[in-house]
Structure 1
């Protein structure tokens, strides 16, 4: 076991720091320097003299310095390090032709670094000063990665990397969708086929600057598919997509694997990763400090180990508590004495779009998942529930004096309007100045890692940080009804599970009511006691059915989408069935599209 200290550059805030971490280093008395402030990079640097005594960790007010205890078997497996004392990445996933390799793990553990290394955009420095191509090839000598790196550096492999930052595309690429795709590949037939495959045909004449996030995502994926590469790296390809679009994209990527391509996929939707991947790699470690790639695992075993929090091959505990799902459908707590909200048939017209909400009731203690395609009116209904929009017809009837709390879909709007406000002041403005005395504050502060963010400006936060702050502020408000519009967007798997746990715990303890609009079916299953299904023609008209128990609602939705899910016999998580498989046919015959456990006939 070796012990080293590293600095998390994202957390380190030298402008606000008294540099006690440097002044209190015990080696200063001897005239030696184990830690010093580098004026060029404006960050503390930890030297080889550091004994990892831990004093600097206790002195740092921003939790920016971490002691790494690395197993002896990892020594010599450091692939890349960002500057002196910076983030370290251990091991790389091994790509295999014709196989989709999925990466699961928290943000800031090196997923994007892995993508850039395997696409040739970053040459790994092997945590030394030697980052030559020959040194990298020599490092992997005798492994499958040696051949891959040789081909990569000799330009024998054409690589396409679909990055996660699709919002920036309109800043650099202009024009209509079909023209942009035709420039990628001047084959009208091929462009038409890809547009049809990803449901882009109706958007051909639209400008990129006019597209939504989900539409931009599909255009970026379409461009990647048209490039005819040998290696495809997809970084978060399901962001902004609804459930139907996610499976459409997954099927398109699987077709590439059938052509023998190298494919790496990084995503946070476990149901999609389970369906899409042949093999998975789990990243674990300390975000911002170090990340370790696990050995390659079968997709079912790998995801189950991740949920259980214990990696068998590595004998490594990565989470104290396992994540469990309901093996059987939860019952709906629909007692009339718990009735909190009721609505008549509602109608709302927004431009040319018309929304109809069928009459329904909602009760205290419920978490009602709202599910359906994009552009079908889910966010419009969420705004009506929160009082931000008035229905054109019908009324929403609260029982008693009901206070609403609303987390909007686009958290970036919060930063745009209130960018100069600190996180602490923003939470106080939403939840009240005494929010830290709220009984739920410790759970939120620890579970959402809020303490290091409290003095940061909203404009300085990443999408994931802003999302956590917005959810926490909404939950801390003393309300009866909570409305969350896509709370899992921008969050990694670990953060999604924490949000799910804290949300359910808070609503249960308050005996409040929550409505959650969400596309991640694994997380929707984790938090919902009931569900409300939307259907119709996206962009034209939408209809919402009354809330019903989760089993009824999901059966209804999955029938509409012509897909079936089963339960994993070990963890209870929902898993997508391949269309036409034995389990798919069996469940259709039984009219059971969502809750079905058959340990003897697991597909993989």
Structure 2
């Protein structure tokens, strides 16, 4: 299970993974010609371990083994071994200690599963989910924005909750258990940026010298912020997955994973290029035509009012839209896409307005039931007539070519998302509009999609406006930042005041320069990021809450620092505090 490789793969070139000599490392196999997981990660008490890898390479299988839901069979699915035999195959001391603890102590495991299907069809309500075994109900619920469920609304059924609310309830229910092992499978799904960092703080609060905490997630910024160590996973999706033999400190592990090469084992972690790149910032004056723009706008509905500050969308610029869930980011994108009637939108001058510039739009919710073939979906844009660079940067990068003869309805959610991104970029437009392009993509695919969008926008000198919650993908993309906020207003004193008569207003800012916009947004999250020139200066790194870097940046009022450096005086100030 954790056998050392008999050879060092010295002939293995970067970008060409070799899996020779791994048969003896099998930890679990589902059956003949079925998926096989090689090696297992080794958790340690008092530290948070994260597992990082592409879809369908065994992350959830590893979690089930570590949770005791599956017993390691060493590949002997016809005659599963007993625990003494399993322990004799554990070369890693930490993994052996973990399983010994599991056998002897029979620890309690709190497991937050990836999917909610079972919860939605159950008769559970919020009160039955949120059972306070640790005396932390107030702290956990307040941090996750579930205050109203502490005493009120506890009888609300789970099938009535949104995906984001159900995710937060599931995290809270897991964190409130008194357990020895806490496992979270993709806790950032359906959460906005603010909620992700709050969830990370709740999960990190579970760490103590006697507990194990293990997390799988596809948001690398979330992993960077939450974990102490990471195990990388590579392999062939649906066929087998291989864990790196040893865990890396998260600072080095994120860099090694993105670079795609395990230097300690001389082993490539993926086929293809490194996912580290320097964003190609193009001149704002690159185009020769008048750039698309929109004026100050007000969109009024019965339940809300959206006020938009006007902007000019410059060539080769990507505008990142940041804001909490429910702040009408999708409404703003749809407004630019022209899906509202002109009568619904008034400019400050009282004139009707509709976006007249050419645009392409990838919505958040995709049509997954189409019977058309992928080639037919792309038929308005004949592949033979596409620019060779577009084929390389978009179709090949997003692996669209192998899907051409597949029925759209048979695609996985991730494949569907990549097809939608490709179609949006293939559509001739002045502005490409994307609503959450990272949804259903794994950590590799998210950055590859960001690269595809960035390179296409830079090459064609067109603008893009993108709503995104994955912070690392967002920082790979953005040139400028648009902030969306909720504003509570009181009813007019001349109006009759009735319950719930307050008006909810939302405001969309004009674009900020990237660093200024990030600073404004992160200051409200109490989270700091830096680009460290001593390591990977093009990869944004999340600072642990309370770390020296976190303290130093907050002291200076810099929540996003593009070139973080520390002086001797900074260290002296930190020691004094």
* Structure-2-length-normalised TM-score: 0.84
* Contact 2:18 2:267 survives alignment (8 Å): no
* Contact 1:427 1:473 survives alignment (8 Å): yes
Instruction: Give 2:199's aligned residue.
Output: 249
Matched residue of 1:180: which SS? helix
Within a 5 Å distance, the mapping from 1:379-458 to structure 2 comes to 379-390=330-341, 391-394=344-347, 402-411=357-366, 414-415=367-368, 418-428=369-379, 432=380, 434-439=382-387, 440-458=390-408
Match of 2:42 among 81, 94, 102: 94
1:185 shift after superposition:
4.3
Matched residue of 2:232: which SS? strand
Instruction: Give 1:593's aligned residue.
Output: 559
* Contact 2:233 2:269 survives alignment (8 Å): no
Q: Matched residues in 2 for 1:581 and 1:229: separation?
A: 27
**Structure 1: stretches of 5+ with no match in the other structure:** 3-66
Count of matched residue pairs: 525
Instruction: Give 1:321's aligned residue.
Output: 273
1:517 shift after superposition:
0.3
Instruction: Give 1:143's aligned residue.
Output: 93
Instruction: Give 1:51's aligned residue.
Output: none
1:389 shift after superposition:
2.3
Q: Deviations over 1:66-88 (max 9, x none)?
A: x995233x341111223222322
Instruction: Give 1:31's aligned residue.
Output: none
1:498 shift after superposition:
1.0
* Contact 2:319 2:478 survives alignment (8 Å): yes
Is 1:557 aligned to residue 521 of structure 2?
yes
Is 1:200 aligned to residue 155 of structure 2?
no
Q: Deviations over 1:80-130 (max 9, x none)?
A: 223222322111000111111011111111111111111111222211233
Q: Deviations over 1:13-64 (max 9, x none)?
A: xxxxxxxxxxxxxxxxxxxxxxxxxxxxxxxxxxxxxxxxxxxxxxxxxxxx
* Contact 2:393 2:455 survives alignment (8 Å): no
> Could you say if the C-alpha distance between residues 589 and 141 of structure 1 is closer, same or farther in structure 2, counting changes exceeding 3 Å?
closer
Q: Deviations over 1:191-247 (max 9, x none)?
A: 344221211123552442332221111011111112222111111100111111111
Q: Which moved more, 1:475-484 or 1:150-159?
A: 150-159
Instruction: Give 2:129's aligned residue.
Output: 181
1:309 shift after superposition:
1.8
1:305 shift after superposition:
0.9
Q: Matched residues in 2 for 1:169 and 1:484: separation?
A: 31
Matched residue of 1:241: which SS? coil
> Could you say if the C-alpha distance between residues 470 and 104 of structure 1 is closer, same or farther in structure 2, counting changes exceeding 3 Å?
same
Instruction: Give 2:229's aligned residue.
Output: 279
* Contact 1:464 1:490 survives alignment (8 Å): yes
Higher helix share: 1
> Could you say if the C-alpha distance between residues 483 and 218 of structure 1 is closer, same or farther in structure 2, counting changes exceeding 3 Å?
same
Within a 5 Å distance, the mapping from 1:517-556 to structure 2 comes to 517-537=467-487, 540-556=504-520
Q: Deviations over 1:275-322 (max 9, x none)?
A: 111100011122222211012111101111112222111111235433
* Contact 1:269 1:520 survives alignment (8 Å): yes
Is 1:221 aligned to residue 171 of structure 2?
yes
Q: Matched residues in 1 for 2:290 and 2:481: separation?
A: 16
1:457 shift after superposition:
3.1
Instruction: Give 1:574's aligned residue.
Output: 540
Q: Matched residues in 2 for 1:142 and 1:281: separation?
A: 13
* Contact 1:338 1:364 survives alignment (8 Å): no
Is 1:300 aligned to residue 251 of structure 2?
yes
Q: Matched residues in 2 for 1:213 and 1:102: separation?
A: 23
> Could you say if the C-alpha distance between residues 581 and 299 of structure 1 is closer, same or farther in structure 2, counting changes exceeding 3 Å?
closer
Q: Which moved more, 1:570-579 or 1:210-219?
A: 570-579
Instruction: Give 1:77's aligned residue.
Output: 25
Match of 1:482 among 429, 432, 438: 432
**Structure 2: stretches of 5+ with no match in the other structure:** 7-15, 489-502, 572-577
Is 1:357 aligned to residue 357 of structure 2?
no
Q: Matched residues in 1 for 2:462 and 2:562: separation?
A: 30
Instruction: Give 1:504's aligned residue.
Output: 454
